[in-house]
């Protein structure tokens, strides 16, 4: 089945220790997104890639970076995690950015704990 895969499902890191979360997709979609979801809240968009073009949301902290080495993979790097960065991180994909009827497909998420 075509899908969005996130690894690991659970990640524990220490305060200030860099961490990388991984997302891969078999849908061959052009767009990949990273969202942060804190407990009992709606997902918050951090940034997205359209192919190799990176678009950062205005309020995304500099501590969050992303890489997309190819169509299938996208990484979220947190350079110096703080306690406030503990959250569920969701990866999503969509076929295009300019299609009103397009759908975003989400992965299962990575739960990040910061000690």
In the complex, the residues that contact another protein under the rule CB under 8 A are: 4, 6, 40-43, 45, 50, 55, 88, 90, 92, 97-109, 111
Nearer to another protein, 73 or 106 (CB): 106
Nearer to another protein, 90 or 112 (CB): 90
Question: Shortest distance, CB of residue 102 to another protein, whole angstroms?
Answer: 7
Residues 6+ apart with CB under 8 A from 96: 30, 31, 102
Question: Shortest distance, CB of residue 53 to another protein, whole angstroms?
Answer: 10
Nearer to another protein, 70 or 98 (CB): 98
- Residues pairing with 45 in the sheet: 35
């Amino acid at each position: 089945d075509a899908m969005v895969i996130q690894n690991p499902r659970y990640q524990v890191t220490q305060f200030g220790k860099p961490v990388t979360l991984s997302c891969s997709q078999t849908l061959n979609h052009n767009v990949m997104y990273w969202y942060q979801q804190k407990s009992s809240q709606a997902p918050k968009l951090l940034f997205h890639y359209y192919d190799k073009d990176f678009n950062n949301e205005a309020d995304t902290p500099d501590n969050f970076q992303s890489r997309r080495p190819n169509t299938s993979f996208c990484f979220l790097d947190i350079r110096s995690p703080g306690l406030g960065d503990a959250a569920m991180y969701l990866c999503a994909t969509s076929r295009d950015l300019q299609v009103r009827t397009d759908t975003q497909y989400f992965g299962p998420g990575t739960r990040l704990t910061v000690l």
